[in-house]
Amino acid sequence: MLSLLLAEGHGGGLIPAPVRSAIDRLCDPQYFLPLFFVAFVAGLVFYRKWTQPKVAGGIALAALAGFGLALTNHNFLEIVERPDNIPIVGMLGLVAFFTWYSLRLAAVNDERIEKGEGPIEKTGSNDRVLVWPDLVFSEFIALILCTVLLVVWAIAVKAPLEDPANPFKTPNPSKAPWYFLGLQEMLVYYDPWLAGVVLPGLIIVGLCAAPYIDFNPKGNGYYTFKERRFAISAFLFGFLNLWVVMVLIGTFLRGPNWNVFGPFEKWDVHKVVVLNNVNLSEGFWIGWLKTGFPAWFGASPANGSLAQAGNVIARELPGLVLVLLYLAVPPPVLASTVMKGFYKRMGFIRFNLLVFLMLSMMCLPIKMILRWTLNLKYLVAMPEWFLNI
Amino acid sequence: MDALADSPAPEPANPPAASVPAPPRFVSEYPSYQVSRRGFLSWLAVGWGAFAASGAAAGGAFNRFLMPNLPLYNPPMVLKVGWPDAFEKDKVDERQKPNGFWLRRGFDKATGRTGIYALSTTCTHLGCTPNYLSAEQKFKCPCHGSGFYETGINFEGPAPRPLERYRITLADDGQVMVDKGRKFQQEKGEWMDSEAFLAI
């Protein structure tokens, strides 16, 4: 029976083929990312329901069962058991566990706060322990267990070393270390200087600036979600949707030629994917207006470099206008509508900083969706000056 | 002895009533730790000297890394790659990939001319080396998925501009000669340059 299943094409396994192909299709990032976002929002809205130990335990068991069933598929197993990918499988489990754990503590505290009992951490009676012997012993045991785990891991799984580097033969696919796969995924949608320098820099600067932007004094020293909805949601969105999920896509779904493959799909080097993409300027001047690129400053290259520069800017005007509008319009609009309270409490500078950081965070999903749905390459494409947005 | 240390110091039985107390004078309990000015300064000099010496040694070792153990190998920038009829028509020639370029002979859709051109093997996105996929007739980068036609024009993925072409001429002996020192970029209109293409 099992051999029959394994003999089947596409890796076989205990999960029926239609279900597998459905999962493969849903794992295409253009469906997967919105679906994950919906689940993320639902998870935050109903955080008191699903974090109850029985519900969360049920979800965890179902996920483990599904993972176990998926392991019977040859293609899935091949990706998951790669020495490079084993820690990422473990990391996903840890991320899920700690997200649940922190939200669970927050849910318990929020209920207590509503009843007027105050958070558990402030009652003073909760599990305080002595450094010696309790803490030191726990740490010692944890240290021994970690060492045992690392030794067993090092013996059981071979280090994923590759051939000596050869500048003329790039491995296909070429993957960064797992913690950089989010950046590598970002590089698919942006120019290197943006995805490799500006946006990661903004992540670091933004995280450093968070304590100074934050105006909410609550939640200090205890778990809560209700009192810090905005801060926790924004952080979790950036961490789960834009970092963990990107690592996941880069690790498990990106195959040869950096094409997207479903988890049960064979990594075929010759998979044909239509990815032809165009710049906004091409779509605007040639596709829509059908006038060709503007030559307002003279068509001939003999007109000098200044005229040519003018033409380049004229060509990219639609994208430049869009980018400027994207950065300039939301702050005043938000300040006078949805985020009025924020603006009052934060003041002009802090509020604008916050909105700018949020906008630069949203750059990534917006550009990803534009690429998938409209085949857009760059909003502003000025390869003459190595400036592409 | 331990008990002595803990007990309070015995007070003098009859303190002199009118005597002025002597000014307190510091005497270390541990005579071996008494350091003279000269001794202190000389140890200071020894310490700083050792620090400076180890710093200099570390700096020297660091500088040593700047010099390779092997003689520097500078790959030739100008290569003779064979006579023009050694290249099959309408096929990408991969023999010079280790030297950093592909050659293609035939009609060039990008410039509308017929002949040979040399395409750089460096992806214009982040510098990986794309693979040539003969079935799809394209170059595909394994790092971020950029795709290029056989002309070098980018059409998929994040690469912002076409692959660069190298200067290609006929040598005195009639062989095709590629000069990697001179690049031609399509977005600057340089592909129409006479040396960006070898008309045959």
pLDDT, tens digit (0-9, with 9 covering 90-100), for A264-293: 988 888 888 878 888 898 888 888 888 888
Distance CA B111, CA A363 (A): 36
User: Chain B residue closest to A189 (CA)?
Assistant: B158
Q: What number of C-beta contacts closer than 8 Å exist between A and B?
A: 79
What pLDDT is attached to residue A126? 60
The residue among B20 and A53 whose pLDDT is bigger is A53
The residue-averaged pLDDT of A11-28 equals 87
- The residue count of chain B comes to 200
pLDDT digits (tens, 9 = 90+) for A117-174: 888 888 876 667 788 888 999 999 999 999 999 999 999 998 888 888 877 778 888 8
Cβ-based neighbours of B8, under 8 Å, separated by 6 or more:
none
Closest approach of chain B CAs to the CA of A189, in angstroms?
6
Distance CA A247, CA A183 (A): 8
Instruction: Test A275 with B189 for CB contact under 8 angstroms.
Output: no
Which of A1-15, A181-195, B66-80 has the weakest average pLDDT?
Answer: A1-15
Distance CA B92, CA B117 (A): 10
Instruction: Test A174 with B143 for CB contact under 8 angstroms.
Output: yes
Classify burial at A214, counting beta carbons within 10 Å of its beta carbon; exposed 0-12, middle 13-18, buried 19 or more. Answer: middle
* DSSP string covering A145-163: HHHHHHHHHHHHS-----S
What pLDDT is attached to residue B15? 52
What pLDDT is attached to residue B14? 56
Report helix, strand or coil for B99.
Answer: helix
pLDDT digits (tens, 9 = 90+) for A208-234: 999 999 888 888 889 999 999 999 999
- State how beta strands B154-156 and B165-170 pair: unpaired
The residue-averaged pLDDT of B47-70 equals 92
Which of A32-36, A120-124, B110-114 ranks highest by mean pLDDT? A32-36
**Residue from the list B125, B142, B187 with its beta carbon closest to the beta carbon of A257:** B142
Q: What angle do CA B93, B98, B101 make, to 5 degrees?
A: 50
Which residue matches tokens 């993972």?
A67
Q: Tell me: pLDDT of B19 over 80.
A: no
Q: Which of B73, B133, B156, B164 to mutate to test the interface with A (most CBs of A within 10 A)?
A: B156
Q: What percent of chain A lies above the pLDDT cut of 90?
A: 57
Write the single-letter amino acid at A265. E
B179-182 LR contacts (CB < 8 Å, sep 24+) = B179/B77, B179/B78, B180/B77, B180/B78, B180/B79, B180/B99, B180/B100, B180/B101, B180/B120, B181/B77, B181/B78
Cβ-based neighbours of B93, under 8 Å, separated by 6 or more:
B87, B102, B103, B104, B105
pLDDT digits (tens, 9 = 90+) for B24-44: 776 656 666 678 899 999 999
Residues of B in contact with A301 (CB under 8 A): 189
Q: Does B94 touch chain A (CB under 8 A)?
A: no
The residue among B3 and A339 whose pLDDT is bigger is A339
- List alpha helices for A73-198, DSSP H: 74-80, 86-115, 136-156, 181-187, 192
Distance CA B121, CA B139 (A): 9
| Phi, psi values for residue B149, rounded to 5° | -70, 175
Of the candidates A69, A92, A84, A55, which has an alpha carbon nearest to the alpha carbon of residue A20?
A69
Q: Does B75 touch chain A (CB under 8 A)?
A: no
Residues of A in contact with B155 (CB under 8 A): 276-277
Closest approach of chain B CAs to the CA of A259, in angstroms?
7
pLDDT digits (tens, 9 = 90+) for B131-174: 998 888 999 999 999 999 999 999 988 998 999 999 999 999 98
End-to-end CA distance of chain B: 107
Q: Tell me: pLDDT of A5 over 50.
A: no
- Mean of per-residue pLDDT scores for chain B: 85
- Residues A128-149 as b or e (16 or more Cβ within 10 Å = b): eeeeeeeeeeeeeeeeeeeeee
Structure tokens at A280: 């906004």
Numbers of helices and strands, H then E, in chain A = 19, 2
Distance CA A169, CA A334 (A): 50
| Confidence label for A295 from pLDDT (cuts 50, 70 and 90) | confident
Q: How many CA atoms, within 13 angstroms, populate the side-chain half-sphere of residue B145?
A: 26
Closest approach of chain B CAs to the CA of A314, in angstroms?
16
Q: Tell me: pLDDT of A4 over 50.
A: no
**Residue from the list A167, A172, A187 with its beta carbon closest to the beta carbon of B144:** A187
Closest approach of chain B CAs to the CA of A27, in angstroms?
18
Q: Does B163 touch chain A (CB under 8 A)?
A: no
Distance CA A258, CA A174 (A): 8
pLDDT digits (tens, 9 = 90+) for B117-130: 999 999 999 888 99
Instruction: Test B158 with A188 for CB contact under 8 angstroms.
Output: yes
Residues of B in contact with A168 (CB under 8 A): 97-98, 100, 121, 129
Asked whether B105 and B84 are in contact (CB, 8 A), the reply is yes
Q: Which of A162, A166, A168, A170 to mutate to test the interface with B (most CBs of B within 10 A)?
A: A170
Which of A84-98, A118-132, A267-281, B60-74 ranks highest by mean pLDDT? A84-98
The residue among A358 and A295 whose pLDDT is bigger is A358
Instruction: Test A381 with B160 for CB contact under 8 angstroms.
Output: yes
Residues of B in contact with A259 (CB under 8 A): 145
Q: What is the CATH number of the domain that holds B192?
A: 2.102.10.10
Q: Where are the beta strands (DSSP E) in chain A?
A: 381-382, 387-388
For chain A, give every domain's residue range: 2-121+176-189+221-258, 280-388
Q: Tell me: pLDDT of B200 over 60.
A: yes
What pLDDT is attached to residue B4? 45
Residue B109 is part of which domain span? 78-199
User: Chain B residue closest to A276 (CA)?
Assistant: B156
Q: Which of A170, A186, A189, A257 to mutate to test the interface with B (most CBs of B within 10 A)?
A: A257
Closest approach of chain B CAs to the CA of A75, in angstroms?
20
Distance CA A27, CA A37 (A): 13
Domain membership of residue B135 (yes or no) is: yes
**Tally of domains in chain B:** 1
Structure tokens at A8: 């089947």
> Can you name the residues that pair with B119 across neighbouring β-strands?
B102, B165
Which of A9-18, A58-67, A143-152, A332-341 has the weakest average pLDDT?
Answer: A9-18
| Confidence label for A2 from pLDDT (cuts 50, 70 and 90) | very low
Which residue numbers of A have CB closer than 8 Å to B's CBs?
Answer: 167-174, 184, 187-192, 196, 256-259, 269-270, 272, 275-277, 301, 377-378, 381, 383-384, 386, 388
Residue B76 CA: distances (Å) to CA of A65, B47, B81, B176:
59, 52, 12, 15
User: Chain B residue closest to A278 (CA)?
Assistant: B155
Asked whether A253 and A260 are in contact (CB, 8 A), the reply is yes
Residues of A in contact with B136 (CB under 8 A): 270, 272
Distance CA A334, CA A354 (A): 11
End-to-end CA distance of chain A: 54
The residue-averaged pLDDT of B6-34 equals 61
What pLDDT is attached to residue A310? 86
Of the candidates B152, B165, B170, B154, which has an alpha carbon nearest to the alpha carbon of residue B109?
B152
Q: What is the DSSP letter of A164?
A: P
